[in-house]
Amino acid sequence: MSLFDDLLKRRQREEEGKSENRLPAGQSLTNKFPVLTYGPNPKFDPATWDLRVFGEVEKEMSWSWAEFIALPTATITCDIHCVTRWSKFDTAWEGVLFRDFIKLFGMKDTTKFVIAHCDYGYTTNLPVEAMMEDDVMLTYKYDGKLLEPDHGAPVRTLVPKRYFWKSAKFLRALEFSAVDKPGFWERNGYHNDGDPWKEERYGRRWGF
């Protein structure tokens, strides 16, 4: 297929997306899978990697890689929307649904926010209701294969209903909190909620 055909096809899909109300305002469609990472990719060692939950939970716990991939999984096909204005339709993921995951340790009623902590200190925050949506997962497979390092290996969160910066790559811990703790981009100019359907791209910088 020529580049021109490819472009035409994408444009056509984009128009369809708009008419189906599937493409949020200000977004364009891509068939590629762009990579957006602040900083380097961490090195993944399955022998030492772990994933931890802490804060307002009944029981603080952690999982090794072997323990984590033994948990029951689900598959989700969803659209993703990046605040830098690309969207991608029909992305296919496999992982542990957040709703199922919390049953393993019990979330206290005092939890109002969930903060994802990643290697090298990237964090992102969401109200617990946003995490409880039925399409939120801790994913480790994209398109049937283990996640690529560029896309967050070994495990990332997937929160399809928010801009993609809320889907934390290189996840190492989830913090359950009674108070909100704006994350890396939320403290650096992005909106605290990041709902693409409300075009919540930018927030106020702290101190302005």
Ligand X SMILES: Nc1nc2c(c(=O)[nH]1)N[C@H]1C(S)=C(S)[C@@H](COP(=O)(O)O)O[C@H]1N2
3-state SS string over 157-193? EECCCCCHHHCCCCEEEEEEECCCCCCCCHHHCECCC
Residue 151 within binding range of ligand X, rule CB under 6 A: yes
Residue 38 within binding range of ligand X, rule CB under 6 A: yes
Residues 91-120 that bind ligand X (CB under 6 A): 118
Residue 36 within binding range of ligand X, rule CB under 6 A: yes
Minimum CB separation of residue 156 from Mo ion in Å reads: 13
Total interface residues for ligand X by CB under 6 A: 17
3-state SS string over the chain? CCHHHHHHHHHHHHHHHHHCCCCCCCCEECCCCCCCCCCCCCCCCCCCCEEEEEECECCCEEEEHHHHHCCCCEEEEEEEECCCCEEEEEEEEEEEEHHHHHHHCCECCCCCEEEEEEHHHCEEEEEHHHHCCCCCEEEEEECCEECCHHHCCCCEEECCCCCHHHCCCCEEEEEEECCCCCCCCHHHCECCCCCHHHCCCECCCCCC
Residue 170 within binding range of ligand X, rule CB under 6 A: yes
The binder of ligand X chosen from 7, 9, 34, 110 (CB under 6 A) = 34
Residue 161 within binding range of ligand X, rule CB under 6 A: no
Cβ proximity to ligand X, 35 vs 92, nearer residue: 35
Cβ proximity to ligand X, 170 vs 176, nearer residue: 170
The binder of ligand X chosen from 68, 89, 93, 164 (CB under 6 A) = 164
Stretch of residues binding ligand X (CB under 6 A), selected from 16-24, 31-39, 51-59, 67-75: 31-39
Minimum CB separation of residue 37 from ligand X in Å reads: 4
Residue 165 within binding range of ligand X, rule CB under 6 A: yes
Minimum CB separation of residue 206 from ligand X in Å reads: 19
Partner in contact with 151, chosen from Mo ion, ligand X, none, beta carbon below 5 to 8 Å by kind: ligand X
Cα separation, 34 vs 82, in Å, equals 9
Cβ proximity to ligand X, 111 vs 167, nearer residue: 167
Structure token digits, residue 111:
């939890």
Write out the residues near ligand X by the rule CB under 6 A. Answer: 34-38, 82, 118, 122, 150-152, 164-165, 167-170
